[in-house]
Chain A
């Protein structure tokens, strides 16, 4: 492939990547793929891709100009680089633009599994979770409290209000479902699901993967031998997919 054509494709791919990242940043879907704290890094990456695309387009213009001014040294030789570098770089663009974006949901449970307990990060202070109003705590915080507090009596009967998607597991009794979220440390590749059982008489009316707000009182149950918080629901209302579908530890 002649060098200038190779450069043109490079420029187009860089531009395409730039557009892909910008569109994800603008519609807020970057956090469907990565932990929110890496978003600034991605923004820097976008700026860099734009500078690179600009450099390439300038280079193409220069080479065309050079050829017009000096038609006698027309020395554009065949380029050694294989075109495989180019078509492989189209793959992320194809996947990104052709497959509709969808955050991890219960479809990923079959390989990723799910947990009703959660690890404590050393920078977590339990005081922080304590000070959070009970209705502000998310699924991850409830699970951490139940995993790491010796005495949980004060939490029993507290009002909880959590957002998550519905998952019906075989482990449950009738009239129960799981309200679940994915926890992502870095990117979707390391995502793991956590879930809290919910007791609600109208569980049957819910659909798998539907996003809901569950409000009710906390109760402690024994789930697979582990002390687990369960919500005895007073209301379960449908809600939109949150701006950040994952929780970040």
Chain B
């Protein structure tokens, strides 16, 4: 290869990389801002241990109510991480927090509407909702076995206070909002860097790994589900719009495979994994990734084999 050719090839790759990276970043920033602002408001307006009064202590009830909290906080997978972290600080039970983390990116009004506009009010929407709910509750229940949050959460959350900003009794509303904004900024910087690292990785993979190779491997009821799960991780697209992308696969892939993409994608992808590592210890992150992976795989297989 001539050096000139090589440089023009490299320049092309760099341009694709920059466009894909900025695409993910520009798309994600408003959602991250929404999540961090929600987190700032929770910090200032919800008092310590406030969450534990609202959410049941019983594991099953906590996991289910955690999963449905997504209906109140319409955040996608970028915004949900800082918000969950904050809710943990406010005493949200572990099982409720984990099922919220997994369910909120799917079980919220924005995502339901976008799924409906891509696939219609039908089977795909229904099963996406149901399977995601089941997985989130199951993982929540698994975590409810752990009675000591310190075993699972990073020390920043369970113990010492790390914030530079503290609300005080008697702050005016204006003062409270100012403090909420300062926390939003800190959280935006804290989480933003992991969003950036994740987007860099996703853009890099997309620039150098051909999707067609991946798709050409993926036929057959088992392999096609695995490929769709892998693709969900690789593409790292926001859950609010992933159904439009999934639609592009409906021709080549079965219902079950596309469903597993829609269920797993919002729970685990490159950027969210890196963000999870800022909240949970590594072993807990492994559970949060592997259990949904296994269950999405099973769901995909069940549909591929038993439902036509």
Q: Give the B-binding residues of A (Cβ under 8 A).
A: 3, 10, 13-14, 17, 21, 24, 30, 32-35, 38, 41-42, 44-45, 48-49, 51-52, 55-56, 58-59, 80-81, 84-86, 88-89, 91-92, 95-96, 99-104, 107-108, 110-113, 117, 119, 121-123, 184-192, 249
Which listed residue (A101, A184, A186) contacts B238, Cβ 8 A?
A186
Q: Are A185 and B244 in contact (CB under 8 A)?
A: yes
Chain B contact residues, majority secondary structure: helix
> How many of B's residues come within 8 Å of A, CB to CB?
62
What 0/1 readout, one digit per residue, does chain B (102-130) give for beta carbons within 8 Å of chain A? 00000000000000111110000000000
- Contact A95:B181 (CB < 8 A) given known A84-B193, A121-B247, A186-B237: no
| Contact in complex: A95, B18 (CB < 8 Å) | yes
State whether the Cβ of B241 lies closer than 8 Å to any Cβ in chain A: yes
Q: Count contacts between A and B, CB distance < 8 Å.
A: 171
Residues of A within 8 A of B21 (CB): 92, 95
In the docked arrangement, what's the CA distance between A155 and B233, Å?
41
Q: Which residues of B contact A32 (CB under 8 A)?
A: 19
Query: Are B212 and A113 touching (Cβ within 8 A)?
Result: yes
- Tell me if B15 and A35 are in contact (CB < 8 A): no
A residues less than 8 Å from B118 (CB atoms)? 121-123
Q: Are B23 and A189 in contact (CB under 8 A)?
A: yes
**Cβ contact of A107, chosen from B13, B164, B189, B206, cutoff 8 A:** B13
Cα distance, A192 to B197, chains bound together (Å): 23
Q: Which residues of A contact B220 (CB under 8 A)?
A: none
* Set of chain A residues within 8 Å of B236, measured between Cβ atoms: 189
- Of B117, B185, B206, B236, chain A has the most CB atoms within 10 Å of the CB of B185
Nearest A residue (CB) for B184: A52
For this complex, 11 residue pairs linking A to B, each with C-beta atoms less than 8 Å apart, are: A49-B29, A49-B33, A85-B189, A92-B25, A92-B196, A111-B207, A122-B118, A187-B27, A188-B24, A189-B203, A190-B242
